[in-house]
């Protein structure tokens, strides 16, 4: 199994993601090669005491950027939208952020 800290890269902290905190919905940037089962197991091992109910993933292609004649792409990312079960405790890292 991969290291959980290699699967979960960082949390997504935007206004839209703050609205999901009371309903125990969180967003994370994850490794592009990780599948839903690996993401679920990684979150449950990093954040003790949580139970993941659902994992939805989205892959976004990088935008094309130009500077003069040269052009390239920004990196593509994969986001995971995670919903915890009703009896699970919320993730302590996000406590008090959306107030």
For residue range 23-43, what is the model confidence (pLDDT) as tens digits?
999 999 999 999 999 999 999
Q: Would you say residue 76 lies in a domain?
A: yes
The structure tokens listed for 80 are: 């995971």
Q: Quote the CA–CA distance of 45 and 82 in Å, as a whole number.
A: 14
Q: Quote the CA–CA distance of 80 and 57 in Å, as a whole number.
A: 4
Residue 60 belongs to domain spanning: 4-86
Q: Would you say residue 92 lies in a domain?
A: no
Question: pTM (2 decimals)?
Answer: 0.86
Q: Would you say residue 50 lies in a domain?
A: yes
The structure tokens listed for 49 are: 């005491």
For residue range 37-87, what is the model confidence (pLDDT) as tens digits?
999 999 999 998 899 999 999 999 999 999 999 999 999 999 999 999 999
Task: Please list the residues that pair with 71 across neighbouring strands.
Answer: 66
Our count of domains for the chain comes to 1
Q: Quote the CA–CA distance of 59 and 55 in Å, as a whole number.
A: 13
């Amino acid at each position: 199994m991969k290291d959980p800290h290699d699967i979960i890269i960082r949390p997504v902290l935007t206004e839209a993601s703050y609205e999901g905190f009371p309903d125990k919905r969180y967003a994370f940037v994850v490794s592009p090669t990780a599948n839903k089962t690996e993401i679920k197991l990684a979150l449950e091992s990093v954040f003790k005491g949580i139970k993941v109910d659902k994992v939805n993933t989205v892959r976004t292609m990088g935008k094309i950027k130009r500077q003069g004649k040269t052009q390239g792409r920004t990196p593509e990312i994969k986001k995971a939208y995670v919903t915890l079960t009703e009896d699970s405790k919320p993730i302590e890292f996000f406590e008090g952020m959306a107030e």
